[in-house]
Every structure is written in C-alpha cells, then in structure tokens.
C-alpha cells in the first residue's frame, strides 16, 4: 500500500494518491490531472476510483477530467446531487482497492454531503481517514458555507457536525492517521495547524473541537464564533464542481494567446477585461499599465485572485514574467477563473517600449516617512487581517483588511497623502493597485510592511496574543 499526499501550498490543499496491488484511488484531485495519470503509469497501475469528500468551495476539482481520461467512477457520499454521472455511496458502503478497502463515513456538518473515507488495511483494521473539510488538524470545517444550499442556519449545521465527529470519527482508534483536505492558510477553517498529517489520538488532545468533555452547545458556540465572511468566489466554485466545467486544455489554449501591445490594449478596451499583473511586487511598484491589478505569483496567488476579482466569469488579460504564462493560467483555473483571453507578449517592457502610458506606485521605507507617519498616524491604513491588527499595530492606524478593501473606499482621503502597509509588502501592493484603479493616486506604500515600521522606532501598541477566532 502506498499513500501519497500531493500538497499544493498556494491553496493549502491536499489531494491523495493511494495505490494497492496495481489499483489506485484519487481523493479530491486538483484541476490539472496530469500528475495523477503520470504516477499511475509509473506504477503500472489503474485508477479505479475518484473519491470526492464534498463539493469544494475554494478550488475546482479535477474529478470530471480525470473520469474522462480513465473511465473511473466519481464517488460522493450520501446527499450529493451532482449534475453529472456519479456513484452516490451509502453510509457504511465499502469500496475494495487491491488488498485494502475504503469505507464511507457520512459526516455532514461542513456541508450536508460531506463524507470521510476510512481506509482499512489488508486485515480490515482502520488505518487512516481522509477527512476532507470535516476534520482539519487543529480545527474543523466551517459550518456556514452550505447554509444557503441546505436552507439551514450555521448553528444547525454546527450541531450536525458535532454529531458527525462524536459518532463517526472520535470512536475510531487513536492510531488512525488523519489526512485532511486543507492546512493552515485555507479559508475553509479558522485555526488550522501548519502540519498536514497527524494521528487521531493527538488531535483528540490538541484540537479544541474534539474535547471529550465538550457539550453540543459549547461546540456550536466555539465553531461559529469569529467566522469571517467567506470569499465571494466560493459559491461559484461549488457550482462548477456540482454542475461541470470546461476542459482545462481549452482554457489553456484560449489563455495562451500572445498579444502585442496594440492587440492587448484593443482586447482590454473591447472586452472590459481585468488586466492582471502577476510579476513580483517590486517590479509592479516601479512600473505597470495604468489601472492594472497586481496579484503576484510569489504569494497566495489563487486565493487572492478569488477574493479580489470574485467573479470567475470575469475576462482576464495577463502580464506575466517570461515563461510563466502557462503556470499563471493553470493556477487561475484551479479556482475557476477560466476566462483568460491572452497575455502581453514581451511583458511590461514591450508595453513601455511601444510608448504607451505607464504608472507607478510611490513606495518608501518607514525611516524616510517617520516624521509624516508620526505627525499623521490617522492617515495610515493597515491592510492585514483583523487578528494580525488586534495583535499589534501602529497607534491610531486604521484596519482596512485587504479582503474588504472595496468596502472601505470612503475611508481613504481624497486629496492629502495617505499610507498603506501589510506585514511584509505583498498585500499592500495589491491594495495599492486596487485603490489606484479606483482613482486614489495620493497613496504611499510603506515598503517592508509592519515589520519595517516596528523596527523604525515608530510607536506601536503593546502585543496582545490574538484569539483563535481572530481574522
């Protein structure tokens, strides 16, 4: 038996490749299925099942493409209602794979179709669970994402999740290995550990949601407390996962059109496409196309695209580092952004060489800005998450989290200079690009972020350990 966790850091997502005696199961595959097919060929094995733990909200699964390529059935747990052909398993149903088997444990609560797959070894002994978004390391799946579809409150779903954990997962042996669908950084939970594999016994010790003496009411309160609004693209990803999507090869073909500066400009004007610049933030600061949006490949690219652009149907034109075109289109497609129309041939340098208008962001180290920052701290806008801000921040600075930046536009000064910062410089440049696209050109990015601010000696608040529910 071989179990391989295929972890994608940008999405904090774990897919799984399990092989036994020449038979393979894939659990929660990513959109691009080539790696799974390659592994199966190398193992001289056949992909027998594609198991889905639920209809994912934060990424588009590769289940349909993988089923088309292999003929393997797509398996969901009870209460799933996909628009395509799939096996809807019963609670307790077993699926043999070589010398091992998978048992379906219906564990609703995160969503009503949420299912955990229990792997039993050759002797029938419980060996591991693939818990999807039901159980994370250090946390459990948030119970508000299925609220609309299930016509239930998040408190009702949390109560169902409590029952699922107590009745289906916690009675399993402590030595059972837990393989979750996500780790720290995912928006599907609020308190995940950085580790991606653990034993159930250890989770019973360290996971607040698995406390043995916890009442149902306490669980509901703790799981629902402090939930931030989910990213706006989540419902659209659920829809794609439930109803189907375009083949990724077609998405890559359309998005890989190389456009010279004139054609690029014409396409942007004709289609209303977002011009998305994915270079490093330092390059974007020095020069970029006016009104383009920066979200760099070197950060949490796909989740920030989902949060800031939101509508997966939005046409997009790309400015990428040379050779990164295909990677960018692929990473966009992972979160459902399939409407990429092409990229700027020769990159920003070609645009500038063609004599077209360019823009830049004023970005200064806090040491240089110290006098102004201390004189006008109320003009400082901290775009970190609420929990980061609560922990420690520049005195009198406003907290305008990047994910909510469009809700705070009225807060920014119209004429006098104001300053934006994050923790290290990535998010603040995203914020600056969005603000400039909205007509705010009187901003200054604080280079180096909060770390540099604090080191400059500008007064900050005393450190407070953020609560687990903090944003």
Q: Kindly indicate the confidence band of residue 433, based on its pLDDT and cuts at 50, 70 and 90.
A: very high
Q: Which of 223, 74, 236 is nearest to 149 (CA)?
A: 236
Residue 149 pLDDT > 70, yes or no? no
Residues 215 and 67 in one domain: yes
Beta bridge pairs of residue 18: 3, 25
Would 470 be classed as within a structural domain? no
Residues 342 and 319 in one domain: yes
Residue 469 pLDDT > 50, yes or no? no
pLDDT in tens, 288-319: 999 999 999 998 899 899 999 989 999 999 99
Q: Which of 364, 362, 361, 363 is nearest to 289 (CA)?
A: 361
Would 33 be classed as within a structural domain? yes
Give the 3-state secondary structure of 118-169.
EEECCCCCEEEEEEECCECCCCECCCCCCHHHHCCCHHHHHHHHHHHHHHHH
pLDDT score of 190: 77
Q: Kindly indicate the confidence band of residue 150, based on its pLDDT and cuts at 50, 70 and 90.
A: low
Q: Which of 161, 179, 172, 148 is nearest to 26 (CA)?
A: 179
**Domain harbouring 184, CATH code:** 3.60.15.10
- Could you give the number of structural domains in the chain? 3
Whether the Cβ atoms of residue 223 and residue 143 lie closer than 8 Å to each other: yes
By DSSP bridging, strand 198-199 and strand 46-51 are unpaired
Return d(Cα 325, Cα 106) in angstroms, integer. 41
Q: Where a domain ends, among 235, 264, 299?
A: 235
Q: Kindly indicate the confidence band of residue 287, based on its pLDDT and cuts at 50, 70 and 90.
A: very high
Q: What is the pTM of this model?
A: 0.90
The overall longest dimension of the chain from CA atoms, in Å, is 72
* SS3 call for 227: coil
pLDDT in tens, 391-426: 999 988 999 999 999 889 999 998 999 999 999 999
Return d(Cα 203, Cα 468) in angstroms, integer. 16
Whether the Cβ atoms of residue 295 and residue 328 lie closer than 8 Å to each other: no
Residue 147 pLDDT > 90, yes or no? no
**H/E segment holding residue 263:** helix 261-271
**Domain harbouring 263, CATH code:** 3.40.250.10
pLDDT score of 468: 44
Would 252 be classed as within a structural domain? yes
Backbone angles phi, psi at 469, to 5 degrees: -90, 0
Residues 188 and 331 in one domain: no
Whether the Cβ atoms of residue 292 and residue 276 lie closer than 8 Å to each other: yes
Residues 330 and 372 in one domain: no
Task: Scan for tokens 């409150």, then name that residue.
Answer: 153
Residues 300 and 341 in one domain: yes
Whether the Cβ atoms of residue 315 and residue 272 lie closer than 8 Å to each other: yes
Would 258 be classed as within a structural domain? yes
Can you give the residue range of the structural domain that contains 253? Answer: 246-353
Would 404 be classed as within a structural domain? yes
Q: What is the number of alpha carbons within 13 Å of residue 103 lying toward its C-beta?
A: 15
pLDDT in tens, 211-257: 999 999 999 999 999 887 888 899 999 999 999 999 999 999 999 99
Q: Which of 348, 372, 388 is nearest to 444 (CA)?
A: 372
pLDDT in tens, 89-141: 999 999 999 999 999 999 999 999 999 999 999 999 999 999 999 999 999 99
Residues 326 and 191 in one domain: no
Mean pLDDT of the region 339-354: 98
Return d(Cα 293, Cα 306) in angstroms, integer. 13
Lowest-pLDDT range, 17-21, 88-92, 385-389? 385-389
Residues 201 and 61 in one domain: yes
Would 118 be classed as within a structural domain? yes
Return d(Cα 325, Cα 34) in angstroms, integer. 18
pLDDT score of 148: 52
Would 388 be classed as within a structural domain? yes
Residue 463 pLDDT > 90, yes or no? no
Residues 224 and 100 in one domain: yes
Dihedral of CA atoms 417, 421, 425, 427 in degrees, nearest 10, equals -110
Would 320 be classed as within a structural domain? yes
Residue 471 pLDDT > 50, yes or no? no
Whether the Cβ atoms of residue 233 and residue 307 lie closer than 8 Å to each other: yes
Report the 10 Å Cβ neighbour count for 392. Answer: 16
**Measured CA distances, 279 to 253, 256, 426 (Å):** 22, 17, 11
pLDDT in tens, 170-184: 999 999 999 999 988
Mean pLDDT of the chain, nearest integer? 94
Lowest-pLDDT range, 8-22, 136-150, 217-231? 136-150
* SS3 call for 420: strand
């Amino acid at each position: 038996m071989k179990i391989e966790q295929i972890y994608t850091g940008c999405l904090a997502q774990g897919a799984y490749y399990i092989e036994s005696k020449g038979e393979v199961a894939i659990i929660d595959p990513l959109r691009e299925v080539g790696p799974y097919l390659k592994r199966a060929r190398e193992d001289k094995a056949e992909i027998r099942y594609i198991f889905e733990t639920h209809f994912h909200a934060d990424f588009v699964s590769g289940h349909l493409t993988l089923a088309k390529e292999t003929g393997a059935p797509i398996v969901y747990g009870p209460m799933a209602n996909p628009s395509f052909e799939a096996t809807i398993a019963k609670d307790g149903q077993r699926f043999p794979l070589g010398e091992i088997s998978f048992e379906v444990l219906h564990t609703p609560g995160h969503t009503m179709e949420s299912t955990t797959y229990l792997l039993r070894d050759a002797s029938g002994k419980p060996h591991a669970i693939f818990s999807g978004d039901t159980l994370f390391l250090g946390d459990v799946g948030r119970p508000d994402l299925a609220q609309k579809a299930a016509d239930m409150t998040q408190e009702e779903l949390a109560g169902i999740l409590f029952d699922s954990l107590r009745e289906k997962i916690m009675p399993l042996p402590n030595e059972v290995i837990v393989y979750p669908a996500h780790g720290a950084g995912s928006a599907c939970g609020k308190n995940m550990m950085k580790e991606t594999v653990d034993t159930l016994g250890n989770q019973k010790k360290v996971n607040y949601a698995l406390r043995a003496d916890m009442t149902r009411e306490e669980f509901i309160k703790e799981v629902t407390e402090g939930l931030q609004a989910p990213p706006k693209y989540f419902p659209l990803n659920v829809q794609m996962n439930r109803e189907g999507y375009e083949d990724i090869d077609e998405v890559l073909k359309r998005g890989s059109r190389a456009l010279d500066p004139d054609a690029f400009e014409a396409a942007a004007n004709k289609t209303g496409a977002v011009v998305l610049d994915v270079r490093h933030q330092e390059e974007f600061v020095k020069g970029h196309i006016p009104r383009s949006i920066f979200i760099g490949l070197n950060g949490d690219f796909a989740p920030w695209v989902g949060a800031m652009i939101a509508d997966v149907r939005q046409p997009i034109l790309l400015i990428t580092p040379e050779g990164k075109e295909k990677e960018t289109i692929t990473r966009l497609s992972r979160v459902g952004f399939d409407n990429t129309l092409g990229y700027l041939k020769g990159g920003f340098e070609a645009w500038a060489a063609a004599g077209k208008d360019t823009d830049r962001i004023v970005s200064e180290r806090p040491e240089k800005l110290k006098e102004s920052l201390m004189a006008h701290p109320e003009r400082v806008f901290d775009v970190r998450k609420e929990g980061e801000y609560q922990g420690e921040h520049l005195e009198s600075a406003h907290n305008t989290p990047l994910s909510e930046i469009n809700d705070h536009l009225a807060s920014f000064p119209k004429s006098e200079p104001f300053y934006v910062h994050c923790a290290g410089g990535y998010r603040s440049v995203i914020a600056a690009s969005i603000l400039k696209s909205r007509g705010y050109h009187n901003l200054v990015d604080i280079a180096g972020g909060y770390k540099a601010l604090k080191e400059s000696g500008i007064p900050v608040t005393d450190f407070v350990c953020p609560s687990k529910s903090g944003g």
